[in-house]
Amino acid sequence: MTKPRFRGSFTQQEPICEAGIAAALAVMRSGRLHRYNTAADETAEAALLERDFAAWQGARFCLAVTSGGQAMQIAMRAAGVAPGDTVLTNAFTLAPVPGAIAAIGARTALVEITPDLVLDLEDFDAKARATGARWLLLSHMRGHLCDMDRLTEIAAARGVTVIEDCAHTMGAAWAGRRSGGFGLAGCFSTQTYKHMNSGEGGLLTSDDEGFMARATILSGSYMLHDRHGAGPQAEAFADARLDMPNLSARMDNLRAALLRPQIARLDANLDRWNALHDRLAHRLRDHPALRLPARPPEERYVGSSIQVTIPGIGAEAAAAFVNRAAADGVELKWFGAPAPAGFTSSHRNWRYVPAQTLPRTDAILSGLFDMRLPLTFGPADCDAIAEVIRDTADATGRARSA
C-alpha cells in the first residue's frame, strides 16, 4: 500500500473575478482612488460597496474600512468602550481580536470555550458578573456559532453590549438570522483568506444610527459623511462630527471595486465551501481517534475551514501528528503549540493581555488541529486530505499504544 500524499496549496485563493478586475482598472484609469474624490454625479465605489453589502447582509447601515481589525476597534470606540474598561472575548480566537482591545487601551477578559469551539455561555455569564464588564467582543472563531438566542438573553440580563467578530462567518446564520445581526454591530474582514478578497479590508454593519454616525467619523470621514452608501441621515452626526477623533481607516475605491462583484458570488461560494467541508467531514467523522465539533441544527455555517480534535493527545504526539501530516502535504495548524507560528497563537502568547487561567480552553486547544479549505480545492483534494489525516491518526495511535 502506498502512503497517501497531498500536493495542493492551502493558501492559494481563486483569482479576482473578471468583473472585479475590470472595475479596478476603471478606478485606476480615473485616478480617483480616494473614496471622497468623486466627479460630479459620480458615486464612489466605496459608497456603492457599503450600499450593496448592507443590502446583502440585511443591515440598515454599513461602513467600509481598511481591515477587520479596524472595524473592531472602531466598533468598540463607537460603542463607548473607554481606556481601562474591560471587554470580554473568547479565549480561542486569533491575535487581531485581543489586539483590537489592546489598541483602544481596554482590558481583555477571556471566556472559556466548549469542546465544540464556541463561547462557553456559563462562563460568559459568570465572568460578566464577576468582572462587571459591559462589552463582549464575540468571535465566531473558525465559523462556529454559539447558541445565539441564549447568548442574547444572557447579554441582556447582564447589561452587556455584544459586538460580533464575523471574520469567519460572513454568510453564516443562526435560526435564519445572519451572524452580525445579533449584536450592536458586526465586523467583517475582506483580507485575502476570508470570504471576500481585497487583500486587506473591513466592513462594519449595524442598525443603530448614533453608533454608525460615530463609527463613520472615527473611520476618517472628515465632514464628508454624506458621501456614504449606507450611512445614517445628517442629523445623526450632530454630536459625532465634533466628538469623535479621525482614525484614518477609510476603504479606498480600488479595493471596493474588487469587492463589489464578489458580493453577487457569495451565496454560490458558501455552497461550494460547504460541499468541500462536508465531504471532508464525512470522511473523517468515523475515525475513532478524531472528534469533529457538533453543528447544531439552528446553525448555518460556512465551511471555509475545518477543525478536528484528538482529545487527550499529549504535546509530543500532537507535534508529531502535525509534522507527519506536513510531510505528506497536509498543513495543519495546531492551537496547542507552545510557541506562536504563522497565523496561529494561543492566549498564553499574548503578553499584552493579563495572564488568565483557562483550564478548559487549554485542554481543548492542546488537541485542536485546524485547516483552511480554499475554493481552489475540489472533491478529489478533500479525499486525498482525508486519507492523509486518517493515515496520520492511525500512525499516531500506533505510536501512542506502543
Ligand X SMILES: *Cc1c(COP(=O)(O)O)cnc(C)c1O
Residue of 64, 65, 94, 389 interacting with ligand X (CB under 6 A): 94
| 3-state SS assignment for residue 334 | strand
Which cell numbers hold the place of 177? 438570522
Residue of 16, 33, 63, 97 interacting with ligand X (CB under 6 A): 97
**If binding is defined by CB under 6 A, does position 269 make contact with ligand X?**
no
C-alpha neighbours within 13 Å on the C-beta side of residue 88: 27
**Strand bridging mode 107-111 / 86-90:** parallel
Give CA 284 to chain center in angstroms: 24
Which cell numbers hold the place of 309? 480534535
Residues 176-195 within binding reach of ligand X (CB under 6 A): 189, 191
CA dist 261 and 258 (Å) reads 7
Closer residue to ligand X (CB): 38 or 198:
198
CA dist 36 and 281 (Å) reads 46
Which residue, judged by CB position, is nearest to ligand X in the bound state? Answer: 68
| 3-state SS assignment for residue 294 | coil
Q: How far is the CB of 192 from ligand X (least distance, A)?
A: 9
Closer residue to ligand X (CB): 237 or 350:
350
**If binding is defined by CB under 6 A, does position 307 make contact with ligand X?**
no
**Strand bridging mode 185-189 / 202-206:** antiparallel
CA dist 205 and 88 (Å) reads 20
Residue of 38, 89, 93, 305 interacting with ligand X (CB under 6 A): 93
**Count of residues that bind ligand X according to CB under 6 A:** 15
Per CB under 6 A, the segment of 51-59, 118-126, 127-135, 160-168 that binds ligand X is: 160-168
Closer residue to ligand X (CB): 219 or 392:
219
CA dist 82 and 354 (Å) reads 17
CA dist 192 and 390 (Å) reads 29
**If binding is defined by CB under 6 A, does position 143 make contact with ligand X?**
no
Closer residue to ligand X (CB): 170 or 257:
170
Which cell numbers hold the place of 265? 458570488
**Please, what sign has the CA dihedral across residues 19, 20, 25, 27?**
positive
Closer residue to ligand X (CB): 73 or 114:
73
**If binding is defined by CB under 6 A, does position 96 make contact with ligand X?**
yes
**If binding is defined by CB under 6 A, does position 4 make contact with ligand X?**
no
Closer residue to ligand X (CB): 250 or 324:
250
Q: How far is the CB of 117 from ligand X (least distance, A)?
A: 12
CA dist 319 and 336 (Å) reads 9
**If binding is defined by CB under 6 A, does position 374 make contact with ligand X?**
no
Which cell numbers hold the place of 201? 479590508
Residue of 141, 230, 302, 371 interacting with ligand X (CB under 6 A): 141
**If binding is defined by CB under 6 A, does position 167 make contact with ligand X?**
yes
Q: Which residues bind ligand X (CB under 6 A)?
A: 67-69, 93-94, 96-97, 139, 141, 165, 167-168, 189, 191, 202
